[in-house]
Chain A
Amino acid sequence: DQQVKQNSPSLSVQEGRISILNCDYTNSMFDYFLWYKKYPAEGPTFLISISSIKDKNEDGRFTVFLNKSAKHLSLHIVPSQPGDSAVYFCAATNSHTGTASKLTFGTGTRLQVTL
């Protein structure tokens, strides 16, 4: 049972345009969400996060939007740059489950930013 879903395996966007990556979740106990970026042959790196008490969080070119009623979040990258080409993972957790941050990951979306 996939509790965090990224239904688009891949996305291609032109440099300078907006990239929108989507993520859906089914577990209503999730209350903290993260996006990770992964380059080939490297480990994932943290990009941006959002708590369920907010509906938007912005960090430079990256903005995450959370729609709790739809159990949907999205990552916007504006403007997209060639260096943004990577696999992006959405992750979720329940902040009340103890002392470890057990994350549930989606399957990832491969973003390619073309010139």
Chain B
Amino acid sequence: NAGVTQTPKFQVLKTGQSMTLQCAQDMNHNSMYWYRQDPGMGLRLIYYSASEGTTDKGEVPNGYNVSRLNKREFSLRLESAAPSQTSVYFCASSGIGDWYYEQYFGPGTRLTVT
């Protein structure tokens, strides 16, 4: 049981390049989330998917797109990377029932845009 996995762990992009961050969970969770963490800013929600087939914007969606490929996988795409998108990106998932509000996080992707 791997929990939430993210690839890649590290990535360096040049301004204007595109890339997709991959996330998968094996806990049969309905909801999945993408956050970014910047120094002094905490974690900010980029996009989320309440269930398979739905996606919604979070607090900081500009410059990103997402795809909920199936129940397990939720990807984050940067179409034209900018230096302001240099950050650590975390994917998370949450289930139902008693543990509904508790999100389980992946190890993160450290992205640098030069």
Q: A98-B50, A100-B94, A102-B58 are in contact. Are A44 and B105 (CB under 8 A)?
A: yes
Q: A99-B30, A101-B100 are in contact. Are A43 and B48 (CB under 8 A)?
A: no
* Chain B proximity of A64: nearest CB distance (Å): 14
Q: Which size class do B's interface residues fall under?
A: 20 to 34
The one of B40, B42, B104 that contacts A105, using a Cβ cutoff of 8 Å? B42
* CB-based contact A101/B108 at 8 Å: no
Q: How far is the CA of A6 from the CA of B4 in the complex (A)?
A: 27
Interface of A is mostly: loop
Q: Does A49 contact B (CB under 8 A)?
A: yes
Q: How far is the CA of A82 from the CA of B102 in the complex (A)?
A: 25
Interface of B is mostly: strand
Q: Does A59 contact B (CB under 8 A)?
A: no
Q: How far is the CA of A92 from the CA of B33 in the complex (A)?
A: 15
Q: How far is the CA of A36 from the CA of B35 in the complex (A)?
A: 14
Interface residue total, chain A, C-beta cutoff 8 A: 27
A residues 70-108 touching B (CB-CB < 8 Å)? 89, 93, 95, 98-108
On chain B, the residues within 8 Å of A43 by CB distance are: 4, 90, 92, 105-108
* CB-based contact B102/A46 at 8 Å: yes
* CB-based contact A93/B101 at 8 Å: yes
By beta carbon, the residue of chain A nearest B4 is A43
Q: A43-B4, A44-B105 are in contact. List 17 more A-B contacts (CB 8 A).
A: A4-B42, A41-B108, A43-B106, A46-B102, A49-B101, A49-B102, A95-B101, A99-B31, A99-B50, A100-B50, A100-B94, A101-B31, A101-B94, A102-B48, A103-B43, A105-B35, A106-B42
24 A-B residue pairings within 8 Å (CB atoms): A4-B42, A9-B40, A34-B102, A42-B107, A43-B4, A43-B90, A43-B92, A43-B107, A45-B105, A49-B101, A49-B102, A89-B42, A93-B101, A95-B101, A99-B30, A100-B48, A100-B94, A101-B94, A101-B103, A102-B48, A102-B58, A104-B45, A105-B44, A107-B41
